[in-house]
Amino acid sequence: MRLLCYTHADFDALIRIKAAQRPRGRFHYLDRGQTIGRVDVSEPASISSGIASRYASAVFQLAKESNSVAKIESDVASLDAALADSAEFNDLISSPVYTREQQSAAIAAIAKKAGLTETMTNVLGVMSAKRRLFVLPQLLDALRDAIAEDKGVVTAEVVSAKALTKAQSDKLAKTLAANVGKTVNINATVDESLIGGLIVKVGSKMIDTSVASKLNSLQNAMKEVG
């Protein structure tokens, strides 16, 4: 294993996952630092994102090393579907009323039923043991981004006043691809309050061409004049 390619935070998450793959009698890293009982899972979004990013980085590195990125991508799709379809699953990962043991047992059953890879099953087990399942949605987002980047694909978040036609979506994807130098997938949503135009976000870049934005700018300019 090429340990030097990891940051300390990534290595910490990775070694925890590796520990879950080894016999309990040989390695007890997971027992260190664990707390007992229920914890408050309402941590700030930035902290949740950081936790998810570390786990995602470790999972993706393991997938790359074992040539199983496609299988991890399938895991992400399965878990996405489960979160979208099951209110009970969402409650399981986010509610503090479930004990560590209840979460661990339930997540193991879900992983088995969904046919998740050993790597994903183990990371979910580690997260349940550490009371970190509440970051699962962010973990899936981070893994999806890592997989897309590995493929040379980026996702553009597009908000429009009306639903884009396929022709419009394809044209926009082609235009953005010419600018970013990568294949672009369009994730489109509708916000009628925009009146017209588009708001496009690719990574950290925001392009706002909406009529509403122009009207707001005009109103602000008028206030300054007044």
Locate tokens 């986010």: which residue? 94
pTM of the predicted model over 0.75 = no
Q: Which long-range contacts (CB under 8 A, 24 or more apart) does 92-100 make?
A: 92/133, 93/133, 93/134, 93/136, 94/41, 94/133, 94/134, 95/41, 96/38, 96/39, 96/40, 96/41, 97/38, 99/38, 100/128, 100/129, 100/131
**Which among 193, 189, 143 is positioned nearest to 163, based on CA atoms?**
189
83-116 pLDDT, tens digit each: 999 999 999 999 989 999 999 999 999 999 999 9
Q: How far is CA 91 from the centre of its chain?
A: 18
204 or 111: whose pLDDT is higher?
A: 111
Across 32-46, 176-190, 191-205, least confident range: 32-46
User: How confident is the model over 133-159, as a mean pLDDT?
Assistant: 90
Output the pLDDT for position 32: 33
Domains along the chain?
3-149 (no CATH), 152-225 (3.40.30)
Integer angstrom CA distances of residue 102 from 17, 72, 91, 118, 174: 20, 25, 12, 20, 48
Output the pLDDT for position 145: 87
Q: Is the pLDDT of residue 36 over 80?
A: no
Output the pLDDT for position 44: 55
The mean pLDDT value of the chain amounts to: 79
Output the pLDDT for position 28: 33
Q: Structure tokens of 81?
A: 């579907």
Separation of alpha carbons 83 and 53, rounded Å: 19
Q: Is the pLDDT of residue 24 over 50?
A: no
38 or 118: whose pLDDT is higher?
A: 118
Output the pLDDT for position 225: 56
